[in-house]
Structure 1
């Protein structure tokens, strides 16, 4: 089964029925998981920040969300992330399929191996995004004539505030090309439960110090409203391919 986790602009995936149990051994999921079918293919959708959108990135119950997907039999999970563009090759409006992560978050419950059970496993996280699922998305974009950027390093910060210009300078020197707030620990938790995980990033603003003005939510929302059309098209194409 395919799972989708995202938020703003994906209202079409909210249509369906609640499936599974919101209560997990790690607490409640952000919202009810909505099950539906697309051309006969079962799909599950979860609003990462709740429905309505209210949970900040550092308060998302990532463990409960990923656990609930696993309990429903999800084997492939596509995340949709709104991000900032650090380099000039990542302008606002771009769709990017990242292939690497740098984690700057702290204090989040980031593993299922927390010492509260008898299991311990050190997962291989050399390549955080599942290559097969990434290539499926890339191929779906090509078949649907949707412009994407294939490959980038995504830096994940704590939020909910945006970054300072100096922090973005540091991230660029670390090799980051995009900045977001939600891909970690999501990606690592999916790997721990053997769920293939990939991300579709919509660049919604130039990162701090990279634009000609301050970053406003109005500007971000304008890009989301426009860019989510292609995100939805890409998700649909990836599901049916």
Structure 2
């Protein structure tokens, strides 16, 4: 089973560029989207009802901001938001439970310049980790994907020294990512490719993608007890249309 995740930086903008349906042509079982920048009622039937998929949206109260969605061939047993208002009001979380696994799709906050939203971000991160510990008790694999807005280690961004005081690479963010991994979660890409330099986001402002001056800030992670279901993990930097590229995992579960 293949699951994709992609920060699309505006689902309508990506659709208008003619890029949105490219992943669906490969017929993955599930596609997770972040930064939809839309409420479901603002979208066309073509975007809501892709043939063979059910769609589920959690949107921000503020129009044109944040938002997450999941398109799924498999019918989930349950779909829910985070049930923490300060995060749900920004459309940052959606959870789907299946027979064999729990899938959580998140758009982690950006800590912003000079750490203006760092407290909010770390609060979100800590609440996620606490909740994951509860969900692990289900005995099912717990997969958490999305735009974490954190480059964990120097290998995960092109210019680590230049960015030590910049959002996404602040010490507090990297420390939380280390705490998360040490709590028993596996960074799927690093499991298979521990030394590979590959990025998932490039700034629009500096033509960074052309120069491959990027950051790896999008992840598929899984609880360590379930890492045996992982077959592969990858970064599709051959897919364009957003300032992020899609990422994926292949997993072995009962269909």
Same topology, TM > 0.5: no
TM-score range, shorter chain: 0.3 to 0.5
